[in-house]
Chain A
Amino acid sequence: MSDTSTINSKGQLLTNDGVPLKESLRKSLRRTKIRSFLLILAPLLFISILFVNPIVQLLSRSIDDTLINQVFPETFAQYEVWEDKSLLPSEEMFAAVIIDIRNTHKLPDGKGKQLLGKSGTRMNYEYSGWRSLLKKTVKEAIKVDKKSKEEVKPFTWEAPFKDKMVKKDKRWGKVETWQSLGAMKDPYTMGYYLNAVDLRYDANKNIIEKKEYLQIYKTIWMRTLKVSLMVTIFCLILAYPVSYLLATLPMRTSNLLMICVLMPFWTSLLVRIVAWMIMLQQHGVVNDTLLTILPCFEGMVNLPFFGETNIDLCFGEEDRLPMMYNFTGTIIVMTQILLPFMILPIYSVMKGIPPSYMKAAQNLGATPIMAFIRVYMPQSVPGIGAGCILVFIVAIGYYITPELVGGKDGQMIGNFVAREMQRTLNWGLGAAIGSILLVAVLILYWAYDRLIGLDNLKMG
């Protein structure tokens, strides 16, 4: 039957085996889908488990406040019923603190001590002084009466605690200390994010600005944005003419010049930074060269209108430009490092623009400049877009270059993430800054995919 009839009773086209063609095609499509899926499975799992998962875990640190809630459940419960937050809380709340400390301290294997230590650090972020206050109080709260003959020795400190605590440390008598608990009472907090943009919670969990002298991150965010924008613009200005040259020159010459673009691209980042240090330092190549080639004229000259004037046109030892370990250094070095990322996409787009368009425009009466602006430039816009987004994405998360050549005023947000992670050890804050940065980068990445398409991403 299968040999003779190729159409069944329902009017469907059949294959040689007598299966409807549609179904057979669907089957084969499904088979290729499964095969592709199996191919992807290993790399997908690898990236998901070892890359995405760690980053998600890192980001979850930025809102996590469970530790402190685990240690002070009673205290926070009392905080909820504390009515007038401008007055000192009642005896119950003082007692709750002591109960929480004692309960936590009881935990086996020194876990309690560790938890209390970590809590102190956490509380210190909200109100400085908490760490020492807590340490002092813990020491007092867990003292037991050694002379007692009972099996479970009673604590030396007995209720009421309020006066004893205030007497021990007068910070317990300050309402600000108690108010600062408000920012920590929920297991999830936005506190780190607020901190990352120089805001904070007040006692009633309203968001307010930090005190002027405590604001640091706003400046850093602005500087990061400024550096990235400046580097992008400089790269564009430098890259556009060069890309045009490379795209219009004969293949042989342009390939040769292309090596100049690709060589730095392929050279180690650290090598390039060392190279720039030699170029830009106080006694570096650039300053030495300027010193040698710039004219030096000094002396009295009789000028019309001004009369006898002392003119000093010397570029002397004291005029050596500071170009390293500051903002300028960061900009110069980052521009050189990221320039190939701008040249390559623009070049590849320009390569596809037929030169005859410009000639046609000029034939129709446009001046060369007009033809370039009206005909050539609009066609190169995709390349410009790709290059700018790419450079900006890479620049905004830069860490190594500002760290090594940035000095004090060239530090970017990436350096502060590293600082929180490695030195200050305020991991929550580091994670919050990092996640803001990550969101910015991902938005740009998404825009890149939408506008240009990831499959057009090329290297070299």
Chain B
Amino acid sequence: MKFPSYTTTKQKLWHYFYLFFCGFVLFFLVAPLVVVIPLSLTNSPYLQFIPEMKLFSFDTWSFNFDGYGTRWYRELFGMCDTVTQATTVCTNRWMIGIKNSAVIAVFATLFASILGTLAALGLSNRHMPFNRAIMALMISPMIVPLIITASGLFFFFAKVNLVATITGLVIAHTILGIPFVVITVTASLSGFDNNLMRAASNLGGSPLRNFFKIQAPLIAPGVISGALFAFITSFDEVVIVLFVGGPDQYTLPRQMWSGIRNEISPTILAAATILVLFSILLLSTLEMLRRRSERIRGVRPG
């Protein structure tokens, strides 16, 4: 660390303390997620580190991988026959859950992206009456406590026979996804130069063609990052599934929920690890999109 010559010792100390504090906060954010990974690779049925898991022994100066294996991953993927020690119930609910979650999330994301983009396009018109109020309404599903949304939807779906159906869950998750798309698309529209559209009209393009040729490619990063948010929200949603889902409708988060509450088994950790890796993948996608959108608009990263 290079300090200017006039820095006093006190200031230096203060600066180191400050860096230490920031390091602690970042550690606090990430550490729990990192701890999950090695624990998911053990063979023990406990959710804690035990002496057998010591990777490196200082006494014998050697590595020891005995306590580690892919047991919980096999259980996660429903490969029950290979499990030797049957300490927990092995089911294929996890796989059913992953499949259900994926189906629901894909459809919910699709609908949320379409509806959210339409709303954002309409709201970008500043002359639109009640612009602000409609915007607030569109974002409100993100703000209203989930438990209230879930109870409300439960009674409503009970009336229209949508409880315990995939359709019901897709509708509910679409509602939750819309705000994210509205926010991200609005943000990407705020940097959009409307003169481009005027120029295109002047050159004889029809409104529809102008939209697809000029506006759509420019707001695409916004739509995609909103869609990613919507997807992850749906893929991670548990409260609404608990309220409006049927008893046999397993989704991944619901399976994790019951795993945490009832039969706590390290299979959860295997699922958690995969989800952490998945989120890293999504995060890098998003970062790539951001860079791309900056490049298109000619903004140079500093």
Contacts and interface: CB of A to CB of B under 8 A. Distances in A.
Interface string A374-399: 00000000000000000001001111
From A29, A55, A414, A417, name the one whose CB has the most chain B CB atoms within 10 angstroms. A55
B175 A47 contact: yes
Contacts of A238: 25, 28
B31 interface: yes
Nearest to B290: A460
Interface in B1-41: 11, 18-19, 21-22, 25-26, 28-33, 35-36, 39
A242 B26 CA distance: 8
A408 interface: no
A263 B283 contact: yes
Interface string B39-68: 100000001110000000000000000000
B236 A269 contact: yes
Nearest to A404: B260
B136 A40 contact: no
A129 interface: no
A308 interface: no
B280 to A, nearest CB: 7
Interface string A40-56: 10111011101111110
B36 A277 contact: no
A31 to B, nearest CB: 10
Interface residues of B, number: 91
A210 interface: no
Contact of A437 (B137, B148, B232, B301): B148
A399 B147 contact: yes
A261 B236 contact: no
Interface residues of A, number: 89
Contacts of B301: 251
B297 interface: no
B261 A40 contact: no
From A32, A37, A54, A281, name the one whose CB has the most chain B CB atoms within 10 angstroms. A54
B48 A396 contact: no
B272 interface: yes
B33 A263 contact: yes
Contacts of A36: 121-125, 127-128
Given A268-B256, A459-B229, 7 more contacts: A35-B207, A47-B138, A51-B141, A268-B232, A275-B33, A398-B145, A458-B187
12 contacts: A44-B134, A55-B144, A57-B156, A251-B301, A271-B272, A336-B32, A340-B29, A397-B144, A399-B145, A418-B147, A427-B155, A459-B229
